[in-house]
A and B are shown apart, each in its own frame.
Chain A
Amino acid sequence: MPADPLELRATPHRVRTAVRAAGLSDDALNRALDFAITTPPPIAWRRFLSGALALLGAGLLLAGVVCFVAYNWTRIGRFGKFALIELAIIAATLLAWRKLPRLSGQVALLAAAVLVGPLLAIYGQTYQTGADPYGLFLTWFALIIPWVIVSRFSALWVVAILLLDVSLLLFAGQVIGLNQARDMLWVPLVIAALHGVAVACWEWQSGRAQPWLDERWAMRLVAVLGFAALLVVGVTFVFVDEEAGAAGSVGVLALATAIGGTLRYYRSIRPDQFMVTLAVVMGMAWVTALVGRFIMELDLDALGFFVMAAFVIWEITLGVKWYRRHAS
C-alpha cells in the first residue's frame, strides 16, 4: 500500500480528483486522461514486442532442438549426438558473447545453459558411466555457474537453484534411500536452508553500489519455494507428531525462525511488503493446521467445522488489520 498518494495507480477517477484538486484546466484534464488511459507510445510497444518475441522465439527454437534430438536418438551415432548439442551450445554462447548485456544475450546464455543438461544425458547414456541421476543435475548445476555469474540474468539464477533442488531430491531418494517420514523430512529442510542462503546472498549483493541482480521477482520466487518446503515439514509435524522425529521439531523451529527473521529484516531493514506478507501467511497456515489438528481430536462434527471457519476468518481479519496498520 503506497504511503504517498502520488504513488497510487492513475485510474480515471483519481486523475479527475487530482486535476480538480490542483485547480487545472479542462484541457489539462483531457491531456491527463489521455496520458493515463491510452495505450503506451509506439516506441514502448516496439520494445515490449521485441522482448516478448525474443523470449518466445528462443523458447520455440530450444523446444524444436529437443524434439529433433529425441526423434533422431536412435539414428544418430554417438559422435553425431555430441556434435549436435555441442554445436548448439557453442552457437548460443557465441550469440550471448556478442549480445550481452542485452536481453537477447541473456536469453542465448539461458538456452546454452539449458542445453548442457541434454549433453550430460547423452554422455551418461553413451558411456554408461553408471552414475546416479542426481549426479547429472549436480554436474549440470556446477557447469553453468560461470554463465549464471556472467549473464546477470535472474531467470538463469532461478534455473540453477532449481537444478540444485532436483539433485538434492534425487540424492535423497536414490543414494541415501530415505523411506521413513522422519528421514524424508530432512530433504525439504535442506532445500529450505539452501533457498534461505540464496535469498541472503541475493539481499547482500543487492545492497552493493552495482548489484549483480536486481529483479526482486526471482528472489521472491526462491523465498516462496523455501518457505513452502518449511511449511511441509511444519504441517507434517503437526499431524504425525512423534513420527516426524527430530526433523519435525527442527522444521518447526526453522519455520518460526524464518518467519521471525523475515519479518524483522523486511519490515525494518529492507522494506518489502510481499516478503512480510509471505512470512505472515506461512505462520497463519501453520497455526491453522495446528488448530485443525486440535479440533479434529475433539471430534465436534458440525461445530468443529464452524469453529475452524471462525478461526480462519479471525486470522484474515487480524492479517488485514495488521497490514493496514503497518504497511505505511
Chain B
Amino acid sequence: MRLKISDVLAFLKAEGLAPAGADDAVRAALAAETSDEMPWFMRVAIGVGAWLATAFLIGSFFAIAELEDYRAQTIVGVLLIGMAVAVRRQSSAEFLQQTAVAASLAGQALVIHGIGDLFDSVVGAGITGALLSIALVWLMPDRVHRFLSALIGSGSAVAAAVASEAPAALEIATLVLVACTAYVWRMGIRDRDAATAEMLEPVGYGLVIALFGVLLFDTMTSMDGFRWALGHLRQEMLGSATTIGITLAFMALVWKIIDEHGTSHRSRASFAALAGVAALGTGALSSPGIVAGAAALVLAFDRRDRVLLGLAVIFLLVFGSAYYYSLSLTLLEKSGVLVGSGLLLIAIRQRIAPSDAENVAP
C-alpha cells in the first residue's frame, strides 16, 4: 500500500525522467536513513515499555514521603523534564535515551499533579499538561515520546474542557483536535522540511488515537451499560456541532482528493462523493464517531498508511456497533435500519466497482 523510494524511481524511469542506473546513487544517499527506521510494532512495544517504566518511576517518587507536597512535586518534575530533554538531545547511548523518555514522562506526571494540587483544579492541571506536551513535542527528539506527548496533551486539553463545565468547551476542544489532525496529516506536506516532517509523523498517530478516545468516551456516556458511572457527564459531552465539524473536515479531504485527480468539482462523481459525505454526516448526526471513523478510513487510503487503516477499521466497527446499539428503536426497526443500510452500501458498491477489464489493467 505504502509507496517506497523504489516505486518512485520506477515511476520516473517509466516517464523517461530517470536513467536506469540511478538506483546505486540513491541507495548511497539514503543509506544513513535506514538506521532510524523502525516498524510500528517495535514502536508500540517500546511505547508500552516506556509507560511501564514511567509508572514504576512515578510510583517510586510518590513513595518518597517528602514528595507529597505539591511544591516539591512541581520542582522535582521540572528538574526531571529538563534533565531528560538535555540527556535525550545530547546522548547517543540507547540506555540513557530510554531513561530520558521515562524520566520525562514521570516528570510531567509530577508537574501536572503538583500544579493541579496547587490550584486545586483539574482545569489547571489539564492546561499545564497540554502546554507541556506541545513544548515537549518540539524539544524532545524521540518518536515514541512525541507520540505519547500528542496523547497526553490531547487528553489533558479534553480533561480541562470537561472539568471547566463551560458551554461547548469539549466540542471546541474536539474540533481543535480534528483541525490539528487534519493539519498534521494533510496540509503543507510537500513543503515541510525534514525536521518538521519527522517531528509531526508520530504526533499524527497520537492525535488520531486521542480523537477516537474522546469520541469513544462520548459514546460510552450515552450507553445504558455505562450510564451509572458516566451518565452525569452527558450534558458536557459532544453534540451535533462536533459531527458537523468532522463532516466539513471530511468534505474538505474529499474536495482535496478530487482536486488532485484533476476532476471537476461540478462532475457527477464529485457531487456524488461530496453529497455522500454530507448524507453520512446528516444520518449520523448524533454519532460523530461514525463520521470520524469513515474519514479516517479515507484518509488512511489517501496517505497510503496501513497503521492508520487498521485503526480506522477498528474504530469504525466500534462506533458503528455502539451507534446501532444505542438507537432508540425496537429490534425489528433496528433490523430494518441495518438491512437498509447494508443494502444501500452494497448498491453504491455495485455502482462504483471497477469492471473486470478495469481490474486487470494496471
Which residues of chain A have a CB within 8 Å of any CB of chain B?
1-15, 17-18, 20-25, 27-28, 31-33, 35-43, 45-50, 52-54, 56-68, 70-72, 273-274, 277-278, 281, 284, 288, 301-306, 308-310, 312-317, 319-321, 323-324, 328
Cβ-defined partner of A305 (8 Å) among B25, B28, B56, B334? B56
> Which residues of chain B come closer than 8 Å to A321, judged between CB atoms?
94
Instruction: Decide yes or no: A50 and B353 within 8 Å by CB, A4-B27, A17-B30, A64-B337 being known contacts.
Output: yes
Q: A13-B197, A41-B261 are in contact. List 6 more A-B contacts (CB 8 A).
A: A6-B27, A9-B37, A35-B11, A72-B332, A277-B41, A317-B94
Q: Find out whether the CB atom of A24 lies under 8 angstroms from the CB atom of B12.
A: yes
Contact between B45 and A60 (Cβ–Cβ < 8 Å)? Answer: no
**Known contacts being A35-B11, A45-B301, is A50 close to B352, with CB within 8 Å?**
yes
Which A-chain residue is minimally distant from B196 (CB atoms)? A13
Q: Which residues of A contact B358 (CB under 8 A)?
A: 43, 46
Q: Are A47 and B354 in contact (CB-based, < 8 A)?
A: yes
Contact of A67 among B18, B98, B335 (CB under 8 A): B335
Verify if B4 is at the interface (C-beta below 8 Å from A).
yes
Q: List 12 A-B contacts (CB under 8 A).
A: A7-B5, A10-B2, A31-B17, A36-B8, A40-B302, A53-B346, A57-B343, A57-B349, A62-B342, A67-B335, A273-B42, A306-B57
In angstroms, how far is the closest chain A Cβ from the Cβ of B107?
Answer: 13
Say yes or no: is B359 at the interface (Cβ < 8 Å to chain A). yes
A72 to chain B, nearest CB (A): 7
Known contacts: A40-B304, A305-B56. The answer to whether A58 contacts B342 by CB under 8 A is yes
B2: chain A residues at CB < 8 Å are 9-10
Enumerate chain B residues within 8 angstroms of A328, measured Cβ to Cβ.
Answer: 34
B5/A15 in contact, CB under 8 A: yes
Known pairs A42-B261, A313-B95; A305 contacts B18 (CB<8 A)? no
Contact (Cβ within 8 A) A12 B45:
no
Q: Which of A33, A71, A281 contacts B45 (CB 8 A)?
A: A281
Interface string of B1-16 (1 = CB under 8 A from A): 0111111110110010
Cα A3 to Cα B46 in complex, Å, equals 21
B101 to chain A, nearest CB (A): 8
Q: Which 10 A-B pairs have the closest CB atoms?
A: A64-B338, A60-B342, A21-B29, A64-B339, A61-B342, A57-B345, A305-B60, A71-B331, A67-B335, A5-B30
For residue B176, give the distance in angstroms from its CB to the closest CB of chain A.
25
- When chains A and B are docked, how far (Å) is the Cα of A10 from the Cα of B331? 49
Closest B residue to A61 using CB positions: B342
A28 touches B348 (CB 8 A): no
Interface membership of B23, Cβ < 8 A: yes
The main secondary structure of chain A at its interface with chain B is: helix
Query: Are B33 and A8 neighbours in the complex by a CB distance under 8 Å?
Result: yes
A85 to chain B, nearest CB (A): 14
Q: Is the CB of B53 within 8 A of A312?
A: yes
Q: Which of B11, B94, B349 has the most CB of A within 10 A?
A: B349
B interface residues, how many (CB within 8 angstroms): 95
8 Å CB interface, B56-70 against A: 56-57, 59-61, 63-64
Query: Which of B28, B39, B349 makes the CB contact (< 8 A) with A53?
Result: B349
Q: Roughly how many angstroms separate A311 CA and B198 CA in the complex, as a whole number? A: 29
Closest-CB distance, A274 to chain B (whole angstroms): 5
Interface centre among A33, A63, A65, A315 (most CB of B within 10 A): A63
In the complex, are the beta carbons of A24 and B17 less than 8 A apart? yes
Is the C-beta of B192 less than 8 angstroms from some C-beta in chain A? yes
A301 to B59, CA, bound (A): 9
- In the complex, the chain B residue whose C-beta lies closest to that of A35 is B11
In the complex, how many residue pairs between chain A and chain B have their CB atoms under 8 Å apart? 278
> How far is the CB of A310 from the nearest CB of chain B, in Å?
8
A6-B5 contact, Cβ under 8 Å, with A50-B349, A324-B35: yes
Q: Are A39 and B260 CB-contacts (below 8 A) given A2-B34, A64-B339?
A: yes
Q: How far is the CA of A61 from the CA of B339 in the complex (A)?
A: 5
CB distance from A288 to the nearest CB of B (A): 8
Chain B residues lying within 8 Å of A302, measured Cβ to Cβ, are: 59-61, 63-64
Is B341 a contact of A60 with CB atoms below 8 Å?
yes
Q: How near does chain A come to B302, taking the closest CB pair, in angstroms?
A: 5
Minimum distance in angstroms from B250 CB to a CB of chain A: 14
User: Is B257 engaged at the interface, CB distance under 8 Å to the other chain?
Assistant: yes
Min CB distance B77 to A, Å, is 15
User: Which residues on the A side are within 8 Å of B97 (C-beta)?
Assistant: 317
Report whether B341 and A35 are in contact in the complex, using a CB–CB cutoff of 8 Å.
no
Which B residues lie within 8 Å of A68 (CB)? 331-332, 335, 339
CA distance A15 to B358 in the complex (A): 30
Task: Among B31, B45, B102, B260, find the residue whose CB has the most chain A CB atoms closer than 10 A.
Answer: B45
Q: Which B residues lie within 8 Å of A23 (CB)? A: 25
Which residues of the partner chain A approach B28 to less than 8 Å between Cβ atoms? Answer: 21
Residues A320 and B57 in contact, CB atoms below 8 Å apart: no
Asked whether A317 lies within 8 Å of B302 as measured between CB atoms, the reply is no
Most buried by A among B28, B30, B256, B260: B30
Closest to B317 in A: A59
Query: Contact check: which of A7, A32, A39, A306 meets B261 at CB < 8 Å?
Result: A39
Say whether B297 faces chain A, with CB atoms less than 8 Å apart.
yes
Complex CA gap A13/B260 in Å reads: 20
Complex alpha-carbon distance, A313 and B105, angstroms: 13
Cβ-based interface call for B52 (8 A) = yes
Docked Cα-Cα span, A43 to B361, in Å, equals: 10
CB contacts under 8 Å to A, within B246-297, are: 256-257, 260-261, 263, 297
List the A side residues contacting B166 at CB < 8 Å.
none
Interface residue B194 (Cβ < 8 Å from any Cβ of A): yes
CB contact between B345 and one of A38, A53, A312 (< 8 Å): that residue: A53
Whether the pair B193, A13 counts as a contact (CB closer than 8 A) is yes
Contacting residues, chain B, for A64 (C-beta < 8 A): 334-342
Give A328 to B45 CA distance when docked, in angstroms.
19
Residues A273 and B39 in contact, CB atoms below 8 Å apart: yes
Interface flag for B50 (CB, 8 Å): yes
- In angstroms, Cα B304 to Cα A2, docked, is 18
Say yes or no: is B82 at the interface (Cβ < 8 Å to chain A).
no
Q: Is the pair B29, A20 in contact by a Cβ cutoff of 8 Å?
A: yes
